[in-house]
Structure 1
Amino acid sequence: METRLLLFFLLFNLLLLLLFKEASTQMPGFVSLDCGGEGNFTDELGLHWSSDDDDVIFGKAATISVANETRKQYTTLRHFPADFRKYCYTLSVVSRTRYLLRATFLYGNFDNNNVYPKFDVSVGATPWSTIVISDANTIESIELIFLASSPTVSVCLSNATTGQPFISTIELRQFNGSIYYTIFESQFYLSVSARINFGAESEASIRYPNDPFDRIWQSDLVKKANYLVDVAAGTERVSTDVPIDISSNERPPEKVMQTAVVGTNGTLTYRLNLDGFPGFGWAFTYFAEIEDLSPNESRKFRLVLPDHPELSKAVVNIQENAHGKHRVYEPGFPNISLPFVLSFKFGKTSDSSMGPLLNALEISKYLEKNDGSPDGGIIAGVISLYLPADWAQEGGDPCLPVPWSWVQCSSDTPPKIVKISLSGKNLTGNIPSDLTRLTGLTELWLDGNSLTGTIPDFTGCPDLRIIHLENNELMGELPSSLMKLPNLREL
């Protein structure tokens, strides 16, 4: 009896250990920042959240309380001054790896002014989205899919036209393999406009852990303006508990593929607004035959887009295309021009006995990357010498979308650094040699520091007009190279 009891307790403790490990495990490459929050925590989904204290030195934290919102990450935010500067978060990534980047914004009247903020968000030098708050209690969310081209990615807030820029959360999700590969990924990001779960069982979104990549699949039952309207009569919801083979390119989650809508009258029709469009985009549908068709039944249908009659020729036969039932078929368009108001229809063919079926849909807009100033890499070498300093931690591109507080840039495309103002910034050591590589530099202000050594050769900066180096601890005579600068007039 004692042996059995001991064995029971051993098995029970082992089960608890396994359950704890499962609950605390998430995919590698996940970063979840609770902006303005204190300490770390694990939410009800098993996602690990960290405070942003170690990621940003600017801005102020604020606490908010919104009815019907109990998630800890939405009880705080970080807000920034409405000034000429940009305020950036810089996150570590693995180069040549694809990621989902998500930022959310819940105003909650944190400033007690009821002034709905409007401001810009950029990824590095690339404008991403303009956040327009229209309801203090509604979360605004933006998502971007990108191929990392460097060891870091920056998310920056700037250009507030009303209120103060703020942010609630930043989430980074690493993808595996070739998920969301496009031939344009070195020049364009994918700005997510729609990711819809059709036939959903409730208004709740599906995400992690049902989707191991934590994509958020919005329910088609959500009620909001211009979202999935003009639904055809005879549209019915179907579901199954049978496992689905999801081994397609984008691997939609099984729970999404276990529900669908069916056009029992022969058609499925929808209309919705696509944020960020018109423009060129990436659009894919997901199908899985989850109804049991008899041998004499068939399901064949075509997509109909009003502005693209040439796309209505292909016939979808899910079981045939997917090579069996309960398997994902993922047709789509890797590059298609779409309007802001998208109307689409699936209509059954004349030889089909069953109406069309739709499980899920994803649409993203191509967002052209801006590589920023060619001086970015050069100036990075300068700030690496002074990283503890506030001015060296502004993040993002030195010139775009707005320049750093101590930098002025040209209006050229791409812009170049033309002025550096680092007077009285407690600079020590030699004058950084990288400054001599800024070919567009016209003004250099380094006075009032503790710089030592000699003055380097600035002949690589032929447009230099003004150099201020007084009140330092420099040695030696003025180099003759300064006299060779054709435009120098103030030293």
Structure 2
Amino acid sequence: MGNLQPDLALRYANVRYFPNVNGARNCYTLRSLKPGGKYYVRAVFGYGNYDRLNSPPTFDLYVGANYWTTVRIVNGSRAYVFDTIAMLSSSSGADYLQVCLVNKGSGNPFISGLDLRPLHPELYPDSSEAQSLVLLSFFRDDTVGFGFNRYHFGIDYQHFRYPDDPYDRIWQRYQNVSTWTVPGSASGVVVKNPPYDTYDVPSAVMLSASTPLNASATMEIVWSSDLSMDVDADTNLLLLLYFAEVEANASRQFDVLLDSNVTLAAAFSPSYLLTTVVRGTARGLGPHSISLVPTSSSNLPPVISAMEIYLVRPRNESATSSADEFNSTVVSCMEYSFILIEERVFFSATAVMSVQKKYSVKKNWEGDPCSPAAFAWDGLNCSYSPPGPQRIIALYLPSSGLIGEIDPSFGQLTLLQNLNLSHNNLSGPIPDFLGRVTSLILLVDNNPYLCVNDTCNSSPSKNKLAQGLGLGLGLGVPVVILVAAVAVFIR
């Protein structure tokens, strides 16, 4: 990794790469999260010619079932940082988030680091279950070098991050502008955020401000998307500009304009030591400009502390449900005694992931089981009925080397219509919990150690029901009829 910039952190000198075929998906699953929670996700990449091919790859990045960005390594010696703010679905019930790398046939995907941090749910209100925010990269002056894609306007080439920023957002200096200077401020002062604030910018960032040397000068901030970002004419952008007055007894007033003709704020005067956010929206690659134009009544030039610009990324794909939920009454007929049981059954995506782990299933089982449809797991059929979450309705695992008892996770796939477990090495009784999955056709033939409750014994030769008869299931008999043989009835 000797071809990386020498000032980069050690994490960029390491990679995990995934040599696989075009279209393959490799995923990291980040667990123990809060359904409906909001999270800050960062993925970092340092190519550094680790493979000695001098051929930087291009591949796609997904958060869950939804497209995040395309990683285009334009300069192999530079590190690339991609930040997104995503919200977990509350309707699917998922308590995990997956980050997936997808091979596009242009080199092996790789990654150097992956970060996840919880956000307060009221922060960045434009990030929701319907859309995520992707931090934009900008074309940069050569003196900026490695960019973190979020800017303060101080004069020092200093990055602000944790512990100054509790969420470890990385604030990089914008660039060197010879006609700008630092406004005067007293030592030891703190810029506070208002009670209704939804961005929580650190005081250290807000104090790192710039202002023109000439009191009547306009501040121009020109920007456009980095070549590594996939921005087209229809891409929606969210602009967040952060202001605070840091000079005591100052009198300044200015207009905030987008592309010279859209007024984001008129006759604006920042509050003393209090953060004010000016929001705006733009569309397309650019170049775009932000103009801070002093009014005739202003005694001082404009001032600005920081800015962020995000791509607004619609979340068009629904995740596979983790909550196939229904209330049912199950009447269990065991030795002619009837017991009434109320069942509340959960889990679909979580259940099939448990099946994968239990039996070490060797398939393309990475990422969301059903979404997007192009990456759906082999051996699954899903129902796609937007806007709700996807549901698993069929699972085919014949001749898959399954060993051991039928795992309880199968019973949590409550909307299954077909389950094929034939030609494996499953053992033990056919579990009663499969009787709770209504309208299920179950195939379990050619599992020599599988049996029905009272016929179970250690001799596979006596378990004829699971071999020759196949529990009637090889004939495609619904599980309602099968379960009648083991004394469980569904109403």
Say yes or no: TM over 0.5: yes
User: 2:108: which partner in 1?
Assistant: 164
Could you say which residue in structure 2 is the equivalent of 1:330?
A: 277
> The residue matched to 1:90 in structure 2 has which SS?
strand
The equivalent residue for 2:361 is: 391
Q: Which amino acid aligns with 1:403?
A: F
Does the CA-based 8 Å contact 1:375-1:438 persist in structure 2?
no
Amino acid at match of 1:378: S
For residue 192 of structure 1, what is the amino acid of its counterpart?
L
Other-structure match for 2:220: 269
Residue 79 of structure 1, CA deviation: 0.6
Contact 2:320 2:348 in 1 (8 A): no
* Counterpart residue number, 2:72: 132
CA distance in 2, matches of 1:446, 1:156: 31
User: Equivalents in 1 of 2:273, 2:477: separation in Å?
Assistant: 78
C-alpha separation between the residues in 1 aligned to 2:264 and 2:2?
50
| 1:372 paired residue among 304, 319, 322 | 319
- Counterpart CA distance in 2 for 1:145 and 1:347 is 32
For the residues of structure 2 that align with 1:116 and 1:355, how far apart are their CA atoms? 45
> Using a 3 Å threshold, how does the CA distance of structure 1 residues 117 and 445 change in structure 2: closer, same or farther?
farther
Please say which of residues 76-85 and 136-145 is displaced more in the overlay. Answer: 76-85
Whether the 8 Å contact between 1:246 and 1:327 is mirrored in structure 2 is yes
Q: Hey, what does 1:430 align to over in structure 2?
A: 406
Structure 1 residues 230-269: aligned runs within 5 Å: 234-238=179-183, 240=185, 241-248=187-194, 249=197, 250-263=199-212, 264=214, 265-269=216-220
SS in 2 for 1:73: helix
* Equivalent runs, 1:351-362 vs 2, <5 Å: 351-362=297-308
Residue range with higher mean Cα deviation, 338-347 or 372-381 = 372-381
1:213 matched to which residue of 2?
167
1:268 Cα deviation from its structure 2 partner? 1.0
Q: Which amino acid aligns with 2:173?
A: S
2:29 corresponds in structure 1 to 90
Secondary structure, in 3 states, of the residue corresponding to 1:387? helix
Contact between 2:395 and 2:416, CA under 8 Å: does it hold in 1? Answer: no
Q: CA deviation at 1:133?
A: 1.0
Which of 193, 199, 204 is the matching residue for 2:158? 204
* Cα distance in structure 2, aligned partners of 1:338 and 1:361: 17
Matches within 5 A, 1:240-319: 240=185, 241-248=187-194, 249=197, 250-263=199-212, 264=214, 265-274=216-225, 275-277=229-231, 278-293=234-249, 298-306=251-259, 309=262, 311-312=263-264, 314-318=266-270
Does the 8 Å CA contact 1:197/1:361 hold for their aligned counterparts? Answer: yes
Q: Deviations over 1:85-118 (max 9, x none)?
A: 3111111323444321100011111211122111
Question: 2:28·2:100 contact (CA, 8 Å) conserved in 1?
Answer: yes
Structure 1's unaligned 5+ residue stretches are 1-62, 223-230, 486-491
For 1:404 and 1:427, the matched residues in 2 are separated by 24
* CA–CA distance in structure 1, aligned partners of residues 112 and 398 of structure 2: 32
Q: Distance in 1 between matches of 2:42 and 2:360?
A: 26
1:106 equivalent in alignment to 2:40: no
The separation in 2 between residues aligned to 1:159 and 1:469, in whole angstroms, is 37
d(CA) in 1 for partners of 2:420 and 2:312? Answer: 39
Deviations 1:245-286 (A, max 9, x none): 222422212221112221333311121124454433432211
- Is the counterpart of residue 186 in structure 1 residue 129 in structure 2? yes
Cα 1:308/1:449, change in 2 over 3 Å: farther
Distance in 1 (alpha carbons) for counterparts of 2:173 and 2:266: 27
Q: Is 1:152 the equivalent of 2:130?
A: no
Aligned length: 398
CA distance in 1, matches of 2:384, 2:41: 30
C-alpha change, 1:175 and 1:412, in structure 2 (3 Å) is closer
Shift in Å, 1:461: 6.2
Offset of 1:141 from its aligned partner?
A: 0.9
* Corresponding residue of 1:37: none
User: What code does the residue aligned with 1:88 have?
Assistant: C
Change (3 A) 1:361 1:266: same
1:3 maps to: none
CA contact (8 A) 1:266 1:354 kept: no
Q: Is the 8 A contact 2:351 2:413 kept in 1?
A: no
Alignment RMSD (CA, Å): 3.4
* Cα pair 2:348 2:414 within 8 Å, conserved: no
SS of residue matched to 2:60? strand
Question: 2:184, 2:235 → 1: CA distance?
Answer: 34
Deviation string, structure 1 residues 420-460 (Cα, Å, up to 9, x no partner): 34523333213733457234x5x846422324434956995
